[in-house]
Amino acid sequence: MGKNYRSELVGVFGCPIDENPTGVMEEAGFAAKGLDFRYITIKVNEGDLGAAMQGLRAMNMRGINLTIPHKVEVLKYLDELSEAAEIIGAVNVVVNNAGKLWGENTDGKGFLTSLKDAGVSPQGKTVMILGAGGAARAISVECALAGAEKIIIVNRNTQRGQALVDLLKEKTPAAVEYIPWQGAIVVPQGTHILVNATSVGLFPNVDQKPEIDYDTITADTVVTDVIFNDPNSLFLQAAAARGAQTINGLGMLVNQGAVNFTLWTGEEAPLEIMTEALKREFGL
């Protein structure tokens, strides 16, 4: 039996993609585990995804991550979907099982792991989510499937907010409410988990935070942010100043990356090494 010179290929398709740091974390994990896997960051323009997915099959790539603008478009090129991906209607990771492409959405799963790591469970809780985009969809669906009693969606665009509420009502057992985002939003009493699933505060706009009445955040609220660059967002700083427990977006990013790692390799992800690699990348 001769030596095997072929590496297993995974990566990410997106546009823009140049600033995506996922490869740093995944490559660090592969190296730590001694796995002959390569993670390649690939620019795929809108309209070219079909050709890219064909290329993935032709080159026997083991899998791929999807980011903007391909998370929904990719569905038409897949053979199977996980339950969560089917409900969310978006996929951020594909696994190639001998030519059969299976899609999953690990954004919400990464979020749930971050909660669990902090000793928090959404079961029986009220979860308030700012935003109704891809991250909000993934997080709200996973929280509902994990037994959240009530989900509150806050969004400026009523149509988008209502569409997410309708989806959750139809596909999950949770009670759901929509609050139009006008002015500084009051966090209702009894809100256990508050999530910023918008991009407000993302680098380079680190001097911004979502428009809410921060004095309605209490010490009983767990406040989380999907933003990982900067992980110490003004949103979390303002919540911590009110005594709230806070969870930053770095954990969610690493945790969803760890799920992807395991889906592709079948091995447990070396979380600490992957986290350290990202922190170095962000100069933390």
- Reported as a single tens digit per residue, the pLDDT across 182-239 is 999 999 999 999 999 998 888 778 899 999 999 999 999 999 999 887 788 999 999 9
Could you check whether the bond before residue 180 is cis, i.e. omega within 30 degrees of 0?
no
Is the model's pLDDT at 1 over the cut of 70? Answer: no
Residues of each domain in the chain carrying CATH 3.40.50.10860: 8-105+251-281
Residue 71 is among the residues annotated as catalytic for this protein: yes
Q: How confident is the model at residue 78 (pLDDT cuts 50, 70, 90)?
A: very high
CATH number corresponding to 8-105+251-281:
3.40.50.10860
Of the listed 33, 71, 76, 279, which one is catalytic? 71
Is the model's pLDDT at 146 over the cut of 70? Answer: yes
pTM of the model: 0.88
pLDDT in the model for residue 77: 98
Copy the structure tokens of residue 70.
């391909």
Query: In what order do the strands lie in the sheet containing 63-66?
Result: 37-43, 8-14, 63-66, 93-97, 100-104, 80-81
Name beta bridge partners: 247.
224
Residues of each domain in the chain carrying CATH 3.40.50.720: 108-247
Q: What is the C-alpha separation between 4 and 268, in angstroms, rounded?
A: 23
How would CATH label the architecture of 108-247?
Answer: 3-Layer(aba) Sandwich (3.40)
Phi and psi at 40, nearest 5°, equal -115, 135
Q: What is the mean pLDDT of the chain?
A: 94
Percentage above 70 pLDDT, the chain: 100
